[in-house]
Amino acid sequence: MVAFNCIINMKEQIQQVLHNIAVAKSAGNNSADVCIVAATKTRSIDTIKQLLVNGVNTVGENRVQELLLKYEQIEGLSWHFIGSLQRNKVKYIVDKVDMIQSVDSIELATEIDKRCRLIGKVMPILVEVNIGGEVQKSGVSVNELPQLLSSIITLPNVALRGLMTVMPIDAPISLYAQMKSLFDSTADMLNLVNFDLLSMGMSSDYQVAVRSGANMVRLGRCIFGERYYE
């Protein structure tokens, strides 16, 4: 299916997002700088280029093939991979992305480490946590998280920077608080200097996420408008 992007005033949308983030930070006593990752799945090259002139330079792609098609055509962006990543496709993106946010197994982390070692790179990663325990979603369970983290931190070409999650639809505020508590306790346990990123919140829930302590949000619709599918 092909997506057709709804044309909107991106400058106004981004300004509104920044205002909403500021309000949410104040309400939640969140003093952290919040990084906006523009989720660019199905968005056109021309649309993505508008981000740079509107002050957003970090983007996230869900699909390897889309990332490869767009990467060479746009300069000045920091690319994150935010979707489910198969091990056999790691080799295609490690030289292109600045972060992989969706690591949920030691097998995937080991493959990233291996491929980065070959090109002399250390890849920043986030570990994806299935905080809602949803069987249809990827992500490591809360119970399995400590063991995965202890294995990842031994990999020399992987830099563990934090946690990521995709909240269930209509998740209660308490689940956001639980994720923030998990992040804080994990940071204390690992005692890593650069374990500092909690990627939580998308277009439908980023204000709740920021109020709860997120410092990275992945936004598509509220920046670009709705996707219309043929």
pLDDT at 4: 44
Tell me how far apart the alpha carbons of residues 203 and 75 are, in angstroms, rounded to a whole number: 25
pLDDT at 178: 98
The pTM assigned to this predicted structure is 0.94
Domain count, the chain: 1
Tell me how far apart the alpha carbons of residues 89 and 112 are, in angstroms, rounded to a whole number: 10
pLDDT at 208: 98
In 3D, which of 59, 54, 60 has the Cα closest to residue 14? 54
Cα 36 vs. chain centroid, distance in angstroms? Answer: 9
- The residues of the chain scoring below 70 in pLDDT are 1-8, 227-230
pLDDT at 111: 98
pLDDT at 228: 57
pLDDT at 8: 59
Q: What is the pLDDT of residues 46-58, one digit of tens each?
A: 999 999 999 999 9
pLDDT at 153: 96
pLDDT at 226: 81
Cβ(182)–Cβ(163) below 8 Å: yes
Cβ(157)–Cβ(122) below 8 Å: yes
Rg of the chain taking only CA atoms, in angstroms: 17
Specify the CATH number for the domain of residue 214: 3.20.20.10
pLDDT at 1: 44
pLDDT at 7: 45
Torsion sign across C-alpha atoms 168, 108, 79, 177: positive
Provide the total of helices (H) and of strands (E) in the chain, helices listed first. 9, 10
Domain containing 91 equals 3-229
pLDDT at 135: 87
In 3D, which of 217, 178, 211 has the Cα closest to residue 197? 217
